[in-house]
Amino acid sequence: MKMLKHLFGKRDKELDIMQEEAIQSPFRTVVRNFVSNKLSMGGLVIFLIIFLIVLIGPIFNPIDLSEQEETQINVGPGLKMLDVPDELAGNVKEISTGSTFSVGLDNDGNVYVWGYTKVSNRIDVADDMPSKDELGKVVSVSAGFDHVMALNEDGEIITWGSDRMGQCQLPMEVKHEKIKQIAAGYQISYALSESGEIFCWGNENLNDVRLTRRNGNSNIAKISVANTTLMALTEDGEVRHMGSQSSDISKVPEDLGTVKDIATTADACVALLEDGSLRIWGKANKSEREIPEMDGEIVSMFGGRYHITVLTDQGTVYSWGSNAKHQTDVPKSAQNVVAIYGGTYQNYAVTESGEIVTWGLKGYLLGSDELGRDVFTRILNGGRMTMTIGAISVIISTIIGIIIGGISGFFGGWVDIVLQRLTEIVSSLPFLPMAMILTSIIGNSMSENARIALIMVILGVLSWPSLARLVRAQVLAEREQEFVTAANAMGVKKGAIVFRHIIPNVISVIIVSATLDFAYCMLTESTLSFLGFGVKLPRPTWGNMLNGCVSSVVIQNYWWRWVFPAIMLSICVICINMIGDGLRDAIDPKSNER
């Protein structure tokens, strides 16, 4: 500490300009040389920016390691999920939200699609939308996981988007029915006829639906689509689960009484009871049960994936449930609301003046990955992990290198011979294979945090020999200097001479070496993680984010998953290397001539 203060601390005595020009400490010369090197300064600035971003970023973007979201898989970069078209303002009839896109309908029967509309490699629900002539005057729309349904005034149902599971194959019997409600789900389409019967088509293996009369498929007033099943409300105010499998959501409470309205989140159902109160059942463990105090009667409600939004007759909107994607942050401007729409992670509120207020998930700045996790958040958190591991390994290796190099160089004799052989043995251990074997053998039975510590130690313990050699050579040279003789004559202890008199004189070489080692350790860590021997998923690092990206599909179609981490890692290492090079040139201007 004292050494650092001595080196970098402010001098007590202020010098005027003339004196400073005349006498300049070597350290200042180094700083001046370094600052005048544009390339290295640029590198330093960029590196510091990245460093601060990954240091501070995770505080605002904490990572949820268990996060998995099937509706948000491989979403491209962009923040347009809430970009309601201007034509819709003041003229909204209905808005329905699918997985990553929303469909809007205006009072003239025009349909608009916005958001991330590329639902698969080939299908884009915005491009595939039928022309106005084909659609006719639409009266209702519904967006599903990867397809859209529209109902026009002739009673015709039109679907587009993905048809992989037959969700766009309208059955004949539906064509003759008069339809009052349509609902698109996870690869499945539902239609409710005026006579109160539900029809469905699409992926009936994934979705738990049984539409038989015996199962209560009659007299239905409203349907609401949960993640992979269907809830229905009868004309008599009874809630029915339209599936055959027993699950949390299928256990409809028996004491509900007459239900006025229902809404569903992914795995839970909300019922609005006769007395104006709400009841929730199902799998609701993301604080969906924490119903806020509300003034006024509830007039309308819908469920997102893990949140619920309601509108009261006072024109006030309440959202509660999971706020991981800011879907319950109702903005102040949502006053005097007349209608609310939404789903998944998006909310749209139409105010009296016709303005559309939006809140919820805007999109993913750098896209999302194969489990629907935000790449940006993972880059921030992964960067912190990569840099921490790199920094701590360098500190370990530098400390070992200084101690061994210092002792070996100063004392000489048999100590030197033994330490030299030790250095030789460690440096003849093949680095990458050795690190792989150590993490896989020792680290197998460890907890993830212990593994990370182990990786730091392994990298540190394997990478010190080059620095030790360097320090030894420097100490050998410094040992013969007069100040060492003086210290010796004054009776300073040997250890103190090495570490307090000699090492501060060779600190510049050590700093350069540590800087370049930092880059090397980061690279090794990321290579290890890339191969699956370093930090394991789901904990991100810049290396293991690229782990699942070596396939032509990902490389081509989901480029954001590998391009962004790769760019960050490369820029970071390039900058560190530039800083190291610049420092070396600044300390030893002669080396610049090389």
Residues that bind another protein (CB under 8 A): 39, 421, 424-425, 427-434, 436-438, 440-441, 444-445, 519, 523, 526-527, 530-533, 546, 549-552, 555-556, 559, 562, 566, 569-570, 573-574, 576-578, 581, 593-594
Compare residues 279 and 561 and give the one whose CB is closer to another protein.
Answer: 561
d(CA 420, CA 427): 10
Smallest distance, Å, CB 485 to another protein? 24
Compare residues 340 and 569 and give the one whose CB is closer to another protein.
Answer: 569
Compare residues 91 and 420 and give the one whose CB is closer to another protein.
Answer: 420
Exposed, middle or buried: residue 412 (CB in 10 Å: 0-12, 13-18, 19+)? middle
Half-sphere exposure of 354 (CA within 13 A, CB side): 9
| Backbone phi, psi, residue 313, to 5° | -70, -10
Compare residues 79 and 555 and give the one whose CB is closer to another protein.
Answer: 555
d(CA 544, CA 548): 8
Compare residues 105 and 576 and give the one whose CB is closer to another protein.
Answer: 576
E-strand stretches of 212-355? 220-225, 230-234, 239-241, 259-264, 268-273, 278-282, 298-303, 307-312, 317-321, 337-343, 346-351
Compare residues 258 and 570 and give the one whose CB is closer to another protein.
Answer: 570
Smallest distance, Å, CB 552 to another protein? 5
Smallest distance, Å, CB 17 to another protein? 32
Task: Look at the alpha carbons of 508, 511, 515, 520 in this order and tell me if their dihedral is positive or negative.
Answer: positive
d(CA 174, CA 176): 5
d(CA 575, CA 46): 7
Smallest distance, Å, CB 34 to another protein? 16
Smallest distance, Å, CB 26 to another protein? 25
Smallest distance, Å, CB 401 to another protein? 19
The answer to whether the peptide bond before residue 538 is cis (omega within 30 degrees of 0) is: yes
Smallest distance, Å, CB 594 to another protein? 5
Compare residues 457 and 531 and give the one whose CB is closer to another protein.
Answer: 531
Give, to the nearest 10 degrees, the angle between helix 38-60 and helix 26-36. 90
Compare residues 79 and 567 and give the one whose CB is closer to another protein.
Answer: 567
Compare residues 66 and 444 and give the one whose CB is closer to another protein.
Answer: 444
Smallest distance, Å, CB 549 to another protein? 7
Q: Which of 160, 125, 153 is nearest to 139 (CA)?
A: 153
Distances (CA, A) of 37 to 49, 258, 374: 18, 78, 38
User: Any residues with CB less than 8 A from the CB of 381 and at least 6 apart, and which?
Assistant: 57, 58, 61, 62, 63, 540
Distances (CA, A) of 532 to 269, 388, 529, 544, 570: 41, 18, 5, 7, 19
CB-based burial, 338-352: b 16+ in 10 Å, e otherwise: ebbbbbbbbbbbbbe
Smallest distance, Å, CB 52 to another protein? 20
Q: Which of 151, 163, 162, 147 is nearest to 94 (CA)?
A: 151
d(CA 1, CA 594): 35
Smallest distance, Å, CB 51 to another protein? 16
Compare residues 84 and 419 and give the one whose CB is closer to another protein.
Answer: 419
| Residue 576 β-bridge partners | none
Smallest distance, Å, CB 373 to another protein? 20
d(CA 20, CA 239): 85
d(CA 538, CA 95): 35
Compare residues 290 and 448 and give the one whose CB is closer to another protein.
Answer: 448
Smallest distance, Å, CB 576 to another protein? 8
Smallest distance, Å, CB 577 to another protein? 5
Q: What SS3 state is found at 578?
A: helix
**Contact between 541 and 382 (Cβ < 8 Å):** yes
Q: What SS3 state is found at 429?
A: coil
Smallest distance, Å, CB 433 to another protein? 5
Compare residues 206 and 434 and give the one whose CB is closer to another protein.
Answer: 434
**Contact between 576 and 20 (Cβ < 8 Å):** no
Compare residues 15 and 555 and give the one whose CB is closer to another protein.
Answer: 555
| DSSP-assigned letter for residue 78 | B
| Backbone phi, psi, residue 199, to 5° | -120, 150
Smallest distance, Å, CB 222 to another protein? 48
Q: Which of 230, 157, 223, 227 is nearest to 148 (CA)?
A: 157
Compare residues 231 and 455 and give the one whose CB is closer to another protein.
Answer: 455
At 478, the amino acid letter reads E
Give, to the nearest 10 degrees, the angle between helix 507-531 and helix 375-411. 140
Compare residues 148 and 586 and give the one whose CB is closer to another protein.
Answer: 586
